[in-house]
Structure 1
């Protein structure tokens, strides 16, 4: 039975100009770093600095775009877009560290291009993956934590039939679907909330596909989700 990546009208009512790249990959081997450049993340952390040259960090356009977006819906106190968290680490010279080959590759894209990129293990998804507005009370267990959280009413979330996959839109991912060395089938998504960055978004998508192919021999098929094209089957 086919699953779908679905965006709902309630989301588009808030963010009609957003474009979301969805990439799918099958039969992945995520064990070997043999062809992944050792300096991949080190280089990406340095390139990230161009997105956060101004102080405070909220004064930078990429950060400002997401801060303004987060003001349009209910969020957990202190929640920031994942790309802000990555860029902040780079700015503070803490650097984003290695996790596993696939995660390192998509984090390198996020750092270099200033877009949030998420990767999920499709084999642990229950039914369709939806980007929507939470009714409130949907369960969520974040990566590296055991405590069960609940989504707030009016919060933008990714969720499936079981629980929330990502809280506060692009803030934190669920432990249930995190990408590990054993992951075989993947779904990625990369959001662009600024229409002026359409060309950047397109280049970032292509670079993600190129690195997955070059470093891990992964063929990732991409689709673009918009208000006019709201879903894709996988």
Structure 2
């Protein structure tokens, strides 16, 4: 069983159009295959070609949301914006590991923030909420482990222990990061109203297909999460799915 992510009702006042897709992956006893280098290279090429058409509007919306809760988007942009800036400047991204390269490629191709976490390191369910400033955030500073604290009012992902990702999706912590790909993983794709629903549909499909290629035999549970009403009627394909070829309607 996977813990379903929880969205604080306050998020609906900060980003009324927020919606996301959540994928839980069980890769116990399954080997990871190499990632075709063309996957990341093609995504970088797409960015340089100005695709997708909604990229500018969607990332601009994220900047507005960041500014709304006190962050400085030019200094600490959302994860998708940070990746695109690197590609537009350098023409490519360095490889990290197959799973991270895969979800970075999806983020670039669809201009959508994508995060990947070690769900086995979580204590309780992932929660998107507003920080009060006392929550601990495990990170690295000057090459050594360090503890930081979010600003009061900052939007964060957290669990029962502390913050797992600061400034919504800007920077992940060290405690729950993906260092191993043989256990259980959690991925989340996050969008605002300026990204078409079909775009989120395609991005989730691409990530799921990529994970099944990268980790043959893994079990995937896919679902939608949102701030207010469920979005399942808008995502007819996004039903809770487990093994390939098997679908369980919610």
Give the TM-score normalised by structure 2: 0.81
Residue 196 of structure 2: SS of its match in structure 1?
helix
Corresponding residue of 1:228? 229
Partner of 2:162: 163
1:77-125: per-residue Cα shift (whole Å, max 9, x none)? 8211011110011101252221121111111100111101001001100
1:1-234 to 2 correspondences below 5 Å? 3-28=3-28, 32-34=32-34, 36-51=35-50, 60-75=56-71, 78-93=75-90, 95-142=92-139, 146-217=145-216, 218-226=218-226, 227-229=228-230
Does the CA-based 8 Å contact 1:100-1:180 persist in structure 2?
no
Instruction: Tell me how far apart the structure 2 counterparts of residues 75 and 92 of structure 1 sit (CA, whole Å).
Output: 23
| 1:146 aligned counterpart, secondary structure | strand
CA distance in 2, matches of 1:132, 1:204: 24
Higher RCO (CA 8 Å, separation ≥ 6 residues): 1
5+ residue gaps, structure 2: 232-250
Q: Distance in 2 between matches of 1:2 and 1:90?
A: 34
Cα pair distance change 1:41/1:31, threshold 3 Å: farther
Q: Show the counterpart of 2:245.
A: none
Instruction: Work out the CA distance in 2 between the residues paired with 1:196 and 1:124.
Output: 31
Deviation, 1:156, is 0.4
Would the aligned equivalents of 1:74 and 1:153 in 2 still touch at CA under 8 Å? no
- Kindly indicate whether the alpha-carbon contact (under 8 Å) linking 1:30 and 1:180 is maintained by their aligned counterparts in 2: no
CA contact (8 A) 1:140 1:148 kept: yes
- Given that 1:18 and 1:195 are in contact with CA atoms closer than 8 Å, whether structure 2 keeps it comes out as no
- Evaluate the alpha carbon distance shift between residue 42 and residue 185 of structure 1 in structure 2; reply closer, same or farther with a 3 A threshold: same
Contact 1:142–1:172 (8 Å) recurs in 2: no
> Which stretch shifts more, 146-155 or 212-221?
212-221
CA RMSD, Structure 1 to Structure 2 (Å): 2.5
- Quote the offset at 1:76 in angstroms: 6.4
Structure-2 separation of matches of 1:61 and 1:51:
12
**Corresponding residue SS for 1:194:** coil
